[in-house]
Amino acid sequence: MSTLRGVVAGLPQWDRCAVMGVVNVTPDSFSDGGLWFDTGAAVKHGLELAAEGADLVDVGGESTRPGAPRVDEAEELRRVVPVVRGLASEGVVVSVDTMRASVAEQAVAAGAALVNDVSGGLADPAMVPAVADAGVPFVVMHWRGFSEDMNSRAVYADVVGEVVGELRQRMDAVVTGGVAPERIVIDPGLGFAKGAEHDLALLARLDALRALGRPLLVAASRKRFLGRVLAGADGSPPPARERDAATAAVSAISAREGAWAVRVHEVRATADAVRVARAVEGAAG
Ligand code: PMM
């Protein structure tokens, strides 16, 4: 089974697709902004996600919704570090969602086991050396620029080929920068400089991403492309918080296609989905 999904050095090994629950300590994330903005509420929510079946909890302090402005460094540290410390001290495997080396370093010092950088190390030149020094796993996501203007970069002749090629370049650069290859996780970056048709094309070809040879994280939760898929006859998408059943469907598909982990806001349904996928896998012998 581990050959199907791959192994990430420095993290526990699960016998199925892992579930990463999301805690956004932000006032403005697109689906849950403001809900867990206070440290105590954020830690409580992370513990609830773990109790519901999250194998890892991803803590972020900067919204990356399309058009979002950047948060200031001191504010990001203030949001993220105490939540990471609170969850790690309770035994939760914590991932820190940040584009800043300083936040990654302080989060690792507070107990984070994984650095999840949506820019794949491009936003902050100090990130790759910091992760290499810390010796922790690193999520390298496909990224073409900051959220403020990323939609204008959603131009592809061959989205699967271009995303795979750009991710390969980032993986090479990250390894050259000193991060051990066995600590790298890759991620197609659904919704980042991508339209709905691009996200769906990537989900249809997870095999091409897996061929990069590293464990694959799929983060589809509540994203715009699901709004498009679920839109009513008048074309209006359901609100983000009504996309959880669709998210769990993507989790089942991703798990069946060999994803190492799925990143979701609502854990319960996805925890079931990955277990069903595991059971079907087991029945195939
Ligand atoms: N998407 C968001 C935030 N962090 N991390 C990874 N690795 N991959 C993603 O696709 C990703 C991410 C944006 O979604 P949110 O605002 O709902 O957290």
pLDDT digits (tens, 9 = 90+) for 237-281: 999 999 999 999 999 999 999 999 999 999 999 999 999 999 999
Residue 1's pLDDT is what? 46
Of the listed 210, 223, 224, 243, which one is catalytic? 223
Letter string b/e over residues 91-120, b meaning 16 or more CB atoms within 10 A of that residue's CB = ebbbbbbbbbbbbbbbbbebbbbbbbbbbb
Q: Catalytic annotation on 194?
A: no
User: What is the pLDDT of the chain when averaged over all its residues?
Assistant: 94
Q: Catalytic annotation on 263?
A: yes
Mean pLDDT over 167-191 rounds to: 98
CA distance 120 to 145: 11
From 263, 267, 270, the mutation candidate for ligand 1 (largest count of ligand atoms within 8 A of CB) is 263
CA distance 3 to 74: 41
CA distance 119 to 189: 9
CA distance 258 to 186: 13
Q: How far is CA 215 from CA 45, 88, 108, 132, 260, in A?
A: 27, 23, 21, 18, 5
Q: Please enumerate in sequence order all residues whose Cβ is within 8 A of that of 165, keeping only pairs 6 or more positions apart, or say none.
A: none
Q: Are 260 and 278 in contact (CB under 8 A)?
A: no
From the list 223, 249, 248, the residue with the least C-alpha distance to 237 is 223
Nearest residue CA, atom 5 of ligand 1?
A: 118
Which of 39-48, 143-152, 193-202 comes out lowest in average pLDDT? 143-152
Ligand 1 atom with the shortest distance to the CA of 29: 16
Whats the size of the chain, residue-wise? 285
Of the listed 79, 144, 263, 268, which one is catalytic? 263
Q: What percent of the chain has pLDDT over 70?
A: 98
pLDDT digits (tens, 9 = 90+) for 257-268: 999 999 999 999
Its pTM stands at 0.96
Tell whether the model's pLDDT for residue 186 goes beyond 80: yes
Domain 2-284 sits in CATH at 3.20.20.20
